[in-house]
Structure 1
Amino acid sequence: MAIFLPCFISIFLILPSFITAQTNKNITLGSSITAGDISSSWVSPSKDFAFGFQQVEPGNFLLAIWFNQIPEKTISWSANRDKLAPSGSKVELASGRSLILTDPRGQELWRAKLSGGSPAYAALLDTGNLVVSKQDSVILWQSFDEPTDTLLPTQTLGQGAQLIAPYSEKNYSSGRFSFELTTSGNLALYTTDFPLFDSLNTNYLDYESQGLGFQVVYNQSGLLYLVGNDGSILRYMFSEDQASEHVLYQRVILEHDGVLRHYVYPKGSAGWSVKSFAPDNICTAVMQRTGSGVCGFNSYCQFRDDSKPHCLCPPGYSLLDPNYEMGGCYQNFPSQNCGNPSNEKEYDLKVLISVDWPLSDYEHYQNVTIDWCREVCLADCFCAVGIFEETGDCWKKKVPLSNGRSDVSVDRTAFIKVRKD
């Protein structure tokens, strides 16, 4: 049932300007920060958040906002995730211009796109929102309007706005998944046309808003919900999991593995803990007609007790990048030679239970035995994997294998063709 919030929308829209008027720690025109100066940052009045440069790899920096009073210094927003700033780069609140990031040669890397007028000051609010304002406190730009992968309490997503997951746990550049409220009012989690992002690919969790979604709200209590055009709450993202009074900080992030997670940092704790997440099982949720699925090509996804997907290579395959398990696997032996029939004797089949690669098949047989399925793949030089189901169905798969998953719900046996030596 929809819940109506009288005057909800109009009250919320005037809130940012009110908050700006309350802050007493403004950043003046001409103020700047240089990448590499670890003592330099702009801090919110409560000191809960800081804005400046964080080094993410040797010699390269992310212009970011982070949680400032916890050991992890967790990043909540960044400006240049896809174009890191080298040491010596500078961000400046330039008089008559904007908040601008330049490299050591003065080349512009990023700027805040102001809505109109000249900036008078900037401020990092206690909500974690960085704002650039006119003299009369009217906001010209705010980081809350341009989120990267994270939402903070009091932040919203309007129609056409999205979160884009990072590429990997340590690589903050744009990755393969998005959480978007479309301009037509539909809310969903999507796989992206990585690395282009010019259109969306497949939704793997549809919040069934039927085009009625107006705004995603993450309120101060920790509730994340979708508001309709009429101001009613259409649905909650995490089953109304309101944060307790013992929570110090909280955030919602679309992580590199495609899972939307609600994190809390309880008072006196040693770190972040997951309160809720969606979808329930990312490994079985994603099914791409084109693309690799959750894990890279030729690998398969296994969802474990830690509530995270793990990407594994089948026998005879190795990770393309040993430091990035979602990057896919390659066949580390010569493929079967179709021009040499006797070559078949040099190959064997390894068995994996409850594993499948949907949509990678090129032949399908019915009413056959498991032994027949095994032998028909072994004899076919094109067959990389044979899949058998107890119903008597048999599929031949070719590389690259996609949408790989391992789960108790997958009632199939996989035969992986490998070279004997």
Structure 2
Amino acid sequence: MAVPTLVFLLLSALQFSGASASSSNYTSYGAISRNSVPCSRRGSSYYNCRPSPNTTDSHRINLGSSLSPSSTNSSWLSPSGLFAFGFYPQGNGGFGVGIWYAQIPQHTLVWTPDRDDPPFSANATLRLTSDGRFILQRTQHDPEEDFVYDGGQPKESNISWASIVDEGNFVLFDSGSNVLWQSFDFPTNTILPDQRLLSGDEISSVSETNHNSINGRFRLLMQNNGNLVQYYSTGKGSVRYSYWESGTNTYRGRYVTLQLDDDGNLYMFDRHGLTVKNLSLSTGGGGTPTGDTVLYRLTIDNDGIFRVYSINADDQKSKWSIMWESSTDKCVPIGICGNNAYCTYTPMEDQPAVCHCIPGFDFIDKTQQSSDCQQSEQGCSTGNQTQNGNFFMSTLEKIEWKEDQYKVLSSTPTEEKCKEACLADSNCEIALFGDDQSCRLQQLPLRYGRRTVNTSTTPLTFVRGSNCSSSTTLETPPQYSACFSVRLIHM
């Protein structure tokens, strides 16, 4: 069945870890092998493993079967036709490989491997070979690549057949119908009902404009201590910049698992099947309307918030709607804005969060509001950093930052005193003044800024700048866009 040329609403991406190369003389496409033995064959409890895929012999994809974007057979359907696996349109005339909802008008993509790979041409081919390999060939003249790495398993473990099951799981089986590999073991930015996020597993967001970016900025990690954590990825896999957590970090050793149920409820279980937390109940989410066929998915979106979505499959005009979300404040995710920028969001308008550069700065990439901000091209030379009447302090109200002060002054009872303290210190570029009347001095860059909403506190940010004219005074600061600069410290 050919994939309709539609705009997919959601693109996702595979997270994988490195593995040793196979001893075979063919290359690996990149989806890495993993211990995907189903629950019935593991020595641990049911809640610390993945259920066996539900499939029947009548929907086997046999050896010798193939897919190609240029043929009428570009995808394989699940038994009910709900999901499809195969090639879909991507980019300008190219194609990607993935799994998507095929039975609803919004053909939402839920899984794809190797998003760092460029789109394939119309001459690409996926094939289950007669000797039990699942290979990708980019063109007729290119070498064969293993689409899934077999981990050097013995000959008797070769693939015998495959299936895309109605849960949205693409599975490779051996001759004994044991699972050799399944897409559910490699979640992307989406978790489907009956798919589990095991201890140590994570999903990640995808760039809004670059769907092939391999490193999602935002991650959802099921930690080994039982805590479910959202964090901003700095490229080093660090979770120190977390901005949401389930608060279940006392379950170390109990192998806590996250699962989305068929009725839309989002649960956390331990290895004994005991409920650790029902996340959906915290906001009243979950529950299938009587008489409707409702589909659900959990997705970490490119705004850094993970949500449970639902859609009425019986209504062809229905659209995905939010049932539950980890935060209603779109400025909560750390890293939504770049360095020297801050986030604003008005809940009543229900619009995307907006990033703003501090005065005198512009976005490095003006097409990406999430990019860092740097000094405006119209800025002036700072000259010597001395208090000579050529400097002033601009003020931002109700902006919170990740504080990185090098000095805290507790004896500054007024805003003016805090400003004067920064102007008198040649190392000071930023002064943060709080309701406790403490004055925190720090250098650039400012990071993880957001405007506070519905709060009685009034944090103030003073930014040190220099005037173009020595006649400018603190009482009459210049227009920032025409004449403002500060000294950048590159991190």
Q: Secondary structure at the match of 2:216?
A: strand
Q: Structure 2 vs 1, CA of residues 113 and 354 (structure 1 numbering), >3 Å: closer, same or farther? A: farther
**Between 215-224 and 324-333, the greater mean CA deviation after superposition:** 324-333
**Between 144-153 and 155-164, the greater mean CA deviation after superposition:** 155-164
Number of the residue aligned with 1:103: 138
Q: 1:225, 1:47 → 2: CA distance?
A: 27
Q: Which amino acid aligns with 2:197?
A: L
Number of the residue aligned with 2:181: 141
Q: Secondary structure at the match of 2:365?
A: coil
Q: Structure 2 vs 1, CA of residues 399 and 32 (structure 1 numbering), >3 Å: closer, same or farther? A: farther
Unaligned 5+ segments in structure 2 are 1-43, 468-477, 483-491
1:275 corresponds to which of 323, 328, 331? 323
2:65 corresponds to which of 21, 31, 35? 31
- 1:66 maps to 2:100: yes
Residue 34 of structure 1 deviates from its aligned partner by: 3.0
Partners of 2:111 and 2:187 within 8 A in 1: yes
Unaligned 5+ segments in structure 1 are 1-7, 287-292
Q: Which amino acid aligns with 1:413?
A: L
Number of the residue aligned with 1:328: 372
Question: Deviations 1:81-113 (Å, cap 9, x if unpaired)?
Answer: 222343243322233343333433226374254
Number of the residue aligned with 1:4: none
Q: Which amino acid aligns with 1:75?
A: L
Larger relative contact order (C-alpha < 8 A, sep ≥ 6)?
2
Q: 1:139, 1:13 → 2: CA distance?
A: 13
> What is the 5 A alignment of 1:8-407?
10=46, 15-17=51-53, 19-21=54-56, 24-35=58-69, 40-58=74-92, 60-87=94-121, 88-104=123-139, 105-106=142-143, 108=145, 110-113=147-150, 117-168=157-208, 170-172=210-212, 173-182=214-223, 184-191=224-231, 193-197=233-237, 200-207=239-246, 208-210=248-250, 211=252, 212-239=254-281, 241-245=285-289, 246=292, 248-266=294-312, 267-268=314-315, 269-281=317-329, 283-284=331-332, 286=334, 293-305=335-347, 306=350, 309-333=353-377, 334=379, 337-339=382-384, 341=386, 345=390, 348-368=392-412, 369-378=414-423, 382-407=427-452
Q: 1:250, 1:152 → 2: CA distance?
A: 7
Q: 1:255, 1:142 → 2: CA distance?
A: 23
Partners of 2:48 and 2:255 within 8 A in 1: no
- Length, aligned pairs only: 403
Q: Which amino acid aligns with 2:61?
A: I
Partners of 1:102 and 1:110 within 8 A in 2: no
Q: Secondary structure at the match of 1:101?
A: strand
Partners of 2:264 and 2:310 within 8 A in 1: no
Q: Secondary structure at the match of 1:373?
A: helix
Q: Could you state the TM-score of these two structures normalised by the residue count of structure 2? A: 0.72
Percent of aligned pairs with the same amino acid: 26
Question: Deviations 1:155-197 (Å, cap 9, x if unpaired)?
Answer: 1122222212224465253312222223x34232243554343
Larger radius of gyration: 2
Q: Secondary structure at the match of 2:407?
A: strand
Partners of 2:219 and 2:233 within 8 A in 1: no
Q: 2:426, 2:167 → 1: CA distance?
A: 60
Higher strand share: 1
Q: 1:385, 1:391 → 2: CA distance?
A: 18
Q: 1:11, 1:415 → 2: CA distance?
A: 52
Question: Deviations 1:130-179 (Å, cap 9, x if unpaired)?
Answer: 11112332221111111111001111122222212224465253312222
Partners of 1:36 and 1:53 within 8 A in 2: no
Residue 344 of structure 1 deviates from its aligned partner by: 5.7
Q: 1:190, 1:209 → 2: CA distance?
A: 13
Q: 2:429, 2:245 → 1: CA distance?
A: 33
**Between 323-332 and 124-133, the greater mean CA deviation after superposition:** 323-332
**Between 169-178 and 220-229, the greater mean CA deviation after superposition:** 169-178
Partners of 2:387 and 2:424 within 8 A in 1: no
Number of the residue aligned with 1:5: none
Q: 2:373, 2:66 → 1: CA distance?
A: 45
Q: Could you state the TM-score of these two structures normalised by the residue count of structure 1? A: 0.83
**Between 318-327 and 147-156, the greater mean CA deviation after superposition:** 318-327
Higher helix share: 1
Residue 215 of structure 1 deviates from its aligned partner by: 2.2
Q: 1:297, 1:69 → 2: CA distance?
A: 43
**Between 229-238 and 205-214, the greater mean CA deviation after superposition:** 205-214
Q: Secondary structure at the match of 1:264?
A: strand
**Between 211-220 and 55-64, the greater mean CA deviation after superposition:** 55-64
Q: Secondary structure at the match of 2:280?
A: coil
Partners of 1:187 and 1:213 within 8 A in 2: no
Q: Structure 2 vs 1, CA of residues 300 and 146 (structure 1 numbering), >3 Å: closer, same or farther? A: same
Q: Which amino acid aligns with 1:67?
A: Y
Residue 379 of structure 1 deviates from its aligned partner by: 5.8
Residue 57 of structure 1 deviates from its aligned partner by: 2.5
Q: 1:38, 1:415 → 2: CA distance?
A: 63
CA-based RMSD of the aligned residues comes to: 3.2
Q: Structure 2 vs 1, CA of residues 363 and 12 (structure 1 numbering), >3 Å: closer, same or farther? A: closer
Residue 15 of structure 1 deviates from its aligned partner by: 4.7
Q: 1:56, 1:379 → 2: CA distance?
A: 56
Partners of 1:303 and 1:407 within 8 A in 2: no
